[in-house]
Structures are given as structure tokens and as C-alpha cells.
Amino acid sequence: MIGVGKIKQYSNVLDKPLSKGKQEVSLSAFAFLFSELVQYNQTQVDNISELERSRLEDAGYAVGARVLELLCHRDKGNRREMRLLGILSFVHSTVWKVLFGKVADSLEKGTEHEDEYMISEKELLVNRFISIPKDMGTFNCGAFVAGIVRGVLDSAGFPAVVTAHFVPVEGQQRPRTTILIKFAEEVLVREARLG
Amino acid sequence: MPPVAPRSGDAIFASVERVNAELFTLTYGAIVRQLLTDLEEVEEVNKQLDQMGYNIGIRMIDEFLAKSGVSRCVDFKGTAEVIAKVGFKMFVGVTAFVTNWDADGTCCSIVFEDNPLVEFVELPDTCQGLNYCNILSGIIRGALEMVSMKTEVTWTRDMLRGDDAFELQVKLVKQIPEEYPYKDDE
């Protein structure tokens, strides 16, 4: 019977055992919520880049920072990745799998710049039900996911600039989304020192 | 086409696409955090969350009717049962139940304990007046308005404030009569 105190009361959220993360909600519940997030933030900005950069990314960053903490604690025995490739593959597989139910389609190193990496997804979960009006140009709701990635990386000690871009795919009607990660110089210097 | 038999909330939830509840929880948390930063006043945040819920509710009702096969509810009692048994389950995978009916059957409570919105959440002292889950009340209000019921939805119990369950009081204010025939050209 609900409402008779079956669930134990905890005076402090930290006393409560951490859930295993197997609970689910319907995709449409998330899609409705995400659409409200985007619509609300649209009312708070004057232009697209502000909407992507300082609003959606900011919301995602808050999620990413918490995801890192949660996963390191629950799945990795309070350890986190120290090396560049380790953290990238953590984002590409572990984080992706928990948040989006699958490993990301690809993780590549940029060909032109040493400090750039790309995570690509054919159909990013947050873009599933999104179509971009013509007057909004290159706007990509994946900025939220870029924010998540930046939140994870930054909190793990790998500051980076992370952006989301549509990339047309030959023979496909919808473009894929590429999350471009450009690490701060200090990260690469440290990485080189570690050898 | 013969009317589709109503399906249980569990059956629908099992058949729809689902996502990890933690993504949902943390995204909602990010929204509330942004609102608190932008609007500063807790009361304004409550209002905005309710408005967001309303926006969702008026769209969500379509998906609900399409997927549930629920036909017209004869009265408000039936409606409340359907929200608790089918609606909650189908969208957020939790079970709720209806209680505390008043004598004339226009006011009741929807009670539930599991709530994916509040995992990891604790209200700080500065936000004690915040109805953290206010989006839910907006959703119910919005969805019911689309099926001709004007309601007032208020929180009477909230686990984030130390209560033993979440309780939403749903009060039917007015049943808006449907007008026939519809005039398409207006």
C-alpha cells in the first residue's frame, strides 16, 4: 500500500542508498521535458550562439558534473580516469551507455589539430524529435550534450571547449551530430609529460 | 475500427521506448537550477514550473489517449483513477493511487512514493518554499483542461519537506461543456 510509509524516511539524502540506475522513464516524458528546457531558454536569449553556448551548454554542464561523480562512485570504486584516452573512452562508452542506453557511434581524433577529438552519433537522443526552423540556421540542441561532455571532462580535470555540430551524411536524410572536443593546452602538456 | 480495449499502464510502459531515469532526473534538476538562478524568487520558480508542466500536459494528453485506448471517462472519479493507474505508469513508470474523495466527488488526492524527479534531491534552507515537483501539477492541470475539465492542483504532502509520501490534491472546478456542432470555418 502506498502512502503508509513503505519507503524508509531518510533525514539526509546522503544516508539514502544510491540507486543502481536501472530505473527508466518513457522516452516521451524526457522529450517533453527537454523541449520545455529548450523553449524556456529561448525566451532568455537574444541570439542562437548565446542559446547554445551559455544556456543549453550550461544546463548540460550541471548534468555532466553530477554524472561523473555518480558513475565514479557507483561503477568505478571512487576512481576516475587520469589519462586523456582513458577519460575519452569513459565518456564515449560508460557515460553514453548510462545516459543514452548505447555506446556512442564513434570516437575519432581530429586530423588537423592534435588537441581535437570528436564523438559522433547518427541520431543523438536529444535530437530525435527536434527539427530546426530555417531561421535558426546551424542551431543544434546537441549543445546540451556538449555541455554534459564538458561537465564530465572539466570535473575530471580535463578542461576543454566542447561544441555540437551537424554533419551531413551521404545518402542519409538527417545529418549526424558530432561533438567536437578541443582540450585546453595544459591538458596536452600534462599528457606529454606523463609520456 | 472497433474501439481499442484500454490497456494497463504496465503494458503500455513495457511497450514504449524508454530512457534511463537518471538522465531525466538530472535534466529536470538542471532546469530547476536554471530557474532558481534566473528568477531568484522561489514563488516565481513554482509558477514557471507549473507553466512548463501545463505546456507539456496539453500536448501529452494526445499521446496518452492514442496509446492507452482509454475511452471517455464517465465522471471525474474515473478520470482520476485513470491518471493515477495509467498516466503515471505510462510516462514515468511509477504507481500512484487515488484517495481522500470529498462527498460530492469533485476533489481527491493522488498519492505516490516513487518519484524519479527527486532522486538525489534535497531542498536547501533557502528553498523551503519550493514545490520542486510543481511540473507534475501543471501537467495534470494542462492535460485535464484539454478534456474539458478545469482543475486546481495543489501539493498537500511532499517527501522533500519530510512527509511520508507525495500527495497532489486535484479539485474539479468546472466541467466545460463541449459545444456542437464544431464550426471549422471560424
Instruction: Please report whether residue B180 resides in a domain.
Output: no
pLDDT recorded at residue A174: 87
Cell 588537441 -> residue: A115
Instruction: Please report whether residue B24 resides in a domain.
Output: yes
B18 contacts A24? CB cut-off 8 A: yes
Global ipTM: 0.91
Q: How far apart are the C-alpha atoms of A137 and B9, rounded to whole Å? A: 40
Strand B107-112 vs strand B166-175: parallel, antiparallel, or unpaired? antiparallel
Q: Which residues pair with A177 in a beta bridge?
A: A121, A166
Pairwise pLDDT comparison (B38 vs A5), residue with the higher score: B38
- Residue B186, min C-alpha distance to chain A (Å): 28
Cβ pairs bridging A and B (under 8 Å) = 138
Going by pLDDT thresholds of 50, 70 and 90, the confidence category of residue B5 is low
**Mutating which of B23, B109, B120, B123 best tests the A interface, going by the most A Cβ atoms within 10 A?**
B23
Q: How far apart are the C-alpha atoms of B59 and B62, rounded to whole Å? A: 6
pLDDT recorded at residue A3: 46
Range of the domain at B28: 9-175
The mean per-residue pLDDT over the stretch B158-181 comes to 88
The pLDDT tens digits for B42-62 are 999 999 999 999 999 999 999
The mean per-residue pLDDT over the stretch A65-85 comes to 90
Instruction: Please report whether residue B184 resides in a domain.
Output: no
CATH class for the region spanning A29-194: alpha beta
pLDDT recorded at residue B56: 97
CATH number of the structural domain spanning residue B110:
3.30.1380.20
A26 contacts B90? CB cut-off 8 A: yes
pLDDT recorded at residue B184: 66
Residues of A in contact with B37 (CB under 8 A): none
User: Quick check: A90 and A98 in contact, CB under 8 A?
Assistant: no
Q: Which residues pair with A180 in a beta bridge?
A: A118, A163
Instruction: Please report whether residue B3 resides in a domain.
Output: no
Instruction: Please report whether residue B2 resides in a domain.
Output: no
Q: In this predicted structure, which of A15-29, A36-50, A116-130, B129-143 has the lowest mean pLDDT?
A: A15-29
Going by pLDDT thresholds of 50, 70 and 90, the confidence category of residue A10 is low
Helix (H) / strand (E) containing A30: helix A27-42
Burial of A154 (0-12, 13-18, 19+ CB in 10 A): middle
Pairwise pLDDT comparison (A182 vs B6), residue with the higher score: A182
Pairwise pLDDT comparison (A14 vs A120), residue with the higher score: A120
Instruction: Please report whether residue B185 resides in a domain.
Output: no
The number of distinct structural domains making up chain B is 1
The model's pTM: 0.91
Going by pLDDT thresholds of 50, 70 and 90, the confidence category of residue B115 is very high
Percent of chain A with pLDDT over 90: 67
B116 contacts A58? CB cut-off 8 A: no
